[in-house]
Chains A and B, each alone.
Chain A
Amino acid sequence: ELKVEQNPLFLSMQEGKNYTIYCNYSTTSDRLYWYRQDPGKSLESLFVLLSNGAVKQEGRLMASLDTKARLSTLHITAAVHDLSATYFCAVDVASGSRLTFGEGTQLTVNP
């Protein structure tokens, strides 16, 4: 059974600081997805990573994938309050199958 674990689950950081969220998964896969969820809202796709060594960047967020280590990271650079949200990673192991989601990391950026 595929397990996806994120850490930390809760992250409180100051504006301007850098931090990394980790996503570990238990079965071989080269397809990993990051989502953002604002309070009371639905999930919005952030990044799709489809190969070992894939790196994607959007603004202050950068995601990478190491399929050998079964690890993805979401790096936050110079955090701003608008990044406060819950971030989920998700993995699939077969074409078109269901995604398995991590528990989510609730990020709070304080002024």
Chain B
Amino acid sequence: DVKVTQSSRYLVKRTGEKVFLECVQDMDHENMFWYRQDPGLGLRLIYFSYDVKMKEKGDIPEGYSVSREKKERFSLILESASTNQTSMYLCASRYSGAGYEQYFGPGTRLTVT
């Protein structure tokens, strides 16, 4: 079974803190993704990575950065957390070939106060 794990299910941080969200997959997937999900706005892609040390901006990269030093691990960084970054964050991974589905982690619900 494919497993995508995220470091925390719930996280509460203060405005201005630096926040790290970690995602690990165990299936040797080339591609990894970070989304945020907010009521009424659906899933929005923040960043994705198609290889180690490679990254591409998604639709809403502002205020975020990412790191992928190892194939299995993809980190999302909020350099200075703000209250509008309170959200559910979902990590996902998939193989790079055609027709492979994307597997999601359990999600991290981040609250910035």
A-to-B contact residues, CB < 8 Å: 31, 33, 35, 41-45, 48, 50, 88, 90, 95-96, 98-99, 101-104
* CB <8 Å contact, B97 and A44: no
Produce 1/0 per residue, B87-113, CB < 8 A to A.
000101011111111111111000000
* CB <8 Å contact, B107 and A95: no
Please measure, in the bound complex, the distance between the C-alpha atom of A48 and the C-alpha atom of B99, giving whole angstroms: 8
* CB <8 Å contact, B101 and A98: no
* CB <8 Å contact, B43 and A101: yes
* CB <8 Å contact, A88 and B43: yes
A–B Cβ pairs within 8 angstroms, 13 of them: A41-B107, A42-B104, A42-B107, A43-B90, A43-B92, A45-B102, A48-B101, A50-B98, A95-B98, A96-B96, A101-B43, A103-B42, A104-B43
* CB <8 Å contact, B42 and A44: no
* CB <8 Å contact, B94 and A96: yes
**16 extra A-B contacts, CB within 8 A, seeds A96-B95, A102-B42:** A31-B99, A41-B106, A41-B107, A42-B104, A42-B105, A42-B107, A43-B104, A48-B99, A48-B101, A50-B98, A50-B99, A88-B42, A95-B96, A95-B98, A98-B31, A103-B42
Please measure, in the bound complex, the distance between the C-alpha atom of A101 and the C-alpha atom of B58, giving whole angstroms: 13
Query: In the complex, how many angstroms separate the beta carbon of A67 from the nearest chain B beta carbon?
Result: 13
Among B58, B94, B106, residue most surrounded by chain A Cβ atoms (within 10 Å): B94
Q: Which 10 A-B pairs have the closest CB atoms?
A: A96-B96, A95-B98, A43-B104, A42-B104, A50-B99, A103-B42, A42-B107, A101-B43, A45-B101, A42-B106
Please measure, in the bound complex, the distance between the C-alpha atom of A16 and the C-alpha atom of B72, giving whole angstroms: 44
Query: In the complex, how many angstroms separate the beta carbon of B48 from the nearest chain A beta carbon?
Result: 6
Give the number of A-B contacts (CB < 8 Å).
51
B-to-A contact residues, CB < 8 Å: 30-31, 33, 42-43, 45, 48, 50, 58, 90, 92, 94-107
Known: A42-B107, A98-B48, A98-B58. A104 touches B42 (CB 8 A): yes
